């Protein structure tokens, strides 16, 4: 096998294990201007903590509105991961195309993600084309979807 073909075959595996960084196919991280309203729609998010355990977006919402997903082992703090996921939402596609982001630890990867059988627990960042509301979340299995943060971004760009 030619060395460049070998390296090309490794790229999906390396990308799957990397923190959210700008890479081919991934949305650019663009800071959200202070003029935008940013709201965390997770249930109980406004009761003293912006991170919530045990909630995940309803699978129907994910199926209908998912724009982009990335799963990775993070070397950053939860706040840095949440900031980058939110900024990738803001930088996704045409202005205003991504309206919501969701990030949590201990998220099972989906079946077929980078050719895997799925189920590996990673930090997961999901971007959506619709705003999330507290009604768009369901309870998750214990120990999953830990330190979840969701972000709805309301801007006039």
Rounded Cα distance, 58 and 120, in Å: 19
Rounded CA gap, 22 and 28, in Å? Answer: 6
Sorted by where each begins, the domain ranges of the chain are 37-154
Per-residue confidence of the chain (157 residues) as pLDDT tens digits?
Answer: 444 443 334 334 334 433 444 444 679 999 999 999 999 999 877 666 667 889 999 999 999 999 999 999 988 999 999 999 999 999 999 889 999 999 999 999 999 999 999 999 999 999 999 999 999 999 999 999 999 999 999 997 5
pTM of the model as a whole: 0.81
- Do the Cβ atoms of 114 and 11 come closer than 8 Å? no
Contact assessment for residue 107 and residue 144, using Cβ atoms and an 8 Å cutoff: yes
For 88, 96, 131, 134, the CA distances from 153, given in Å and listed in that order, are 11, 9, 8, 15
């Amino acid at each position: 096998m030619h060395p460049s073909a070998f390296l090309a075959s490794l790229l999906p595996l390396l990308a799957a294990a990397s923190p959210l960084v700008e890479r081919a196919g991934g949305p650019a991280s663009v800071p959200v201007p202070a003029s935008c309203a940013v709201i965390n729609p997770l249930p109980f998010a406004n009761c003293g903590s912006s991170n919530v355990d045990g909630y995940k977006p309803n699978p129907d919402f994910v199926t209908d509105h998912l724009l982009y997903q990335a799963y990775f082992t993070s070397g950053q703090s939860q706040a840095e991961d949440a900031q980058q996921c939110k900024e990738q939402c803001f930088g996704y596609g045409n202005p205003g195309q991504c309206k919501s982001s969701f990030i949590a630890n201990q998220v099972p990867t989906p079946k077929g993600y980078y050719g895997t059988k799925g189920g590996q627990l990673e930090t997961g960042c999901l971007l959506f084309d619709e705003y999330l509301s507290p009604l768009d979340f369901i309870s998750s299995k214990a120990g999953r979807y830990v330190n979840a943060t969701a972000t709805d971004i309301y801007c006039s760009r």
